[in-house]
């Protein structure tokens, strides 16, 4: 299996088996300090099967979103259970950035036309 270094997030991942997932949480009255603590626990509980990339709090919407890189949704669910951070839904996503989409394996595709 070929391993690559993702351009956007650092770290080594197996190119053929990594995918991205969004975790949705609807949590009334959660504080930013609680979310920060939970995000720290997510990073600490990583066993390599799911990697927490970022968590966003939309306080006015009582919504908390997290992005993971993992082989499957079960690995993401397990990571959240280990971190004691409840969730409402897990969906597979594609990541984009200004220079292009981040496909499986996390490498950004060029947004420039091919010649």
Q: In sequence order, which residues have a C-beta less than 8 Å from that of residue 19 and are 6 or more positions away? A: 69, 70, 71, 72, 92, 104
Q: Which residues of the chain have pLDDT under 70?
A: 1-18, 46, 100-115
**pTM of the complete model:** 0.71
Q: What is the pLDDT of residues 75-107, one digit of tens each?
A: 999 999 999 999 999 999 998 877 765 555 444
* CA dihedral over 46, 49, 55, 61, signed as positive or negative: negative
CA dihedral defined by 37, 11, 47, 102, rounded to 10 degrees?
80
Structural Rg of the chain based on CA atoms:
15
Bridge-based pairing of strands 50-58 and 13-14 is unpaired
CATH of domain 17-96: 3.30.70.3090
Domain range list for the chain: 17-96
Looking at residue 14, what is its pLDDT? Answer: 43
The torsion angle over the Cα atoms of residues 67, 69, 70 and 76, rounded to 10 degrees, is -20
């Amino acid at each position: 299996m070929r391993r690559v270094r993702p351009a956007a997030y650092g770290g080594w991942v197996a190119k053929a088996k990594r995918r991205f997932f969004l975790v949705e949480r609807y949590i009334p009255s959660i504080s930013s300090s609680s979310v920060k603590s939970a995000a720290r626990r997510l990073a600490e509980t990583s066993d390599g099967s799911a990697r927490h990339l970022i968590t966003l709090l939309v306080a006015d919407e009582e919504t908390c979103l997290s992005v993971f890189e993992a082989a499957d949704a079960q690995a993401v669910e397990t990571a959240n259970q280990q971190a004691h951070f409840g969730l409402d839904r897990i969906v597979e996503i594609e990541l984009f950035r200004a220079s292009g989409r981040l496909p499986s394996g996390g490498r950004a595709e060029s947004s420039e036309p091919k010649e």
